[in-house]
Amino acid sequence: MSEHIDVAVTETTPAAITEDRLWHNDGWLARVIKNQDDDGWAVEMTKDGEPEAGLVVPWTMGRDKKNPKPLDVSAFHVLLRAAREIRMRHEHQLHATLNKKVVVQVNGADIVVTLAIVADEDAPYATLTAKPGRERAAAPLAEVRVAATFKLTDASATAWIENGFDRPA
């Protein structure tokens, strides 16, 4: 059973909390909890407004070998940096999963084809877009809505372009 201190982080929560087992600062809450896997302790980092902790790591025992070492400013900043880095990696991975891009050459011209998946819970879909390859701010040549399961490859992009940008099956 984990020892849990319930704190609702809301607009009325003070800007900073600096207790031995609970810190709140910079939009993050660090909470020292009893480790469920053994007799030790862990610390969880939760971003304000998020339902779950973004980082849970083992925490050091105090000198009495029973209670956790208190949180301090340097420990909080190390944990904060780690939590932000994990969050950034997760966001980059999610972006890469939902957005694909290929550059194909058709009739001597480079065309950039992108697939942007909208992960809607009820009706996921994707948008397939073609733009001239050399002009970054150019208007799209074509844009169609496709199934979220559409596989963007060099071959599928080339086929779409050669078929006059008709919606792929």
Ranges of each domain in the chain: 17-71, 98-162
DSSP count for the chain of H helices, then E strands: 2, 9
Per-residue pLDDT of the chain (169 residues; tens, 9 = 90+): 344 444 444 445 456 899 999 999 999 999 999 987 777 899 999 999 999 999 999 999 988 888 999 999 999 999 999 999 999 999 999 888 899 999 999 989 999 999 999 988 899 999 999 999 877 677 999 999 999 999 999 999 999 999 999 998 7
Q: Give the model's pLDDT for residue 14.
A: 52
Statement: the pTM of the whole predicted model exceeds 0.75:
no
Tens of pLDDT along 70-86? 999 999 999 999 999 99
Token look-up 């078929």 returns 163
Question: CA 73 to CA 58: how far, in whole Å?
Answer: 17
Give one word for 65, left, alpha or beta, with left for phi > 0 and alpha for psi -120 to 50: left
**Spatial CA neighbour of 132 closest among 159, 104, 158:** 104
Question: CA 30 to CA 35: how far, in whole Å?
Answer: 14
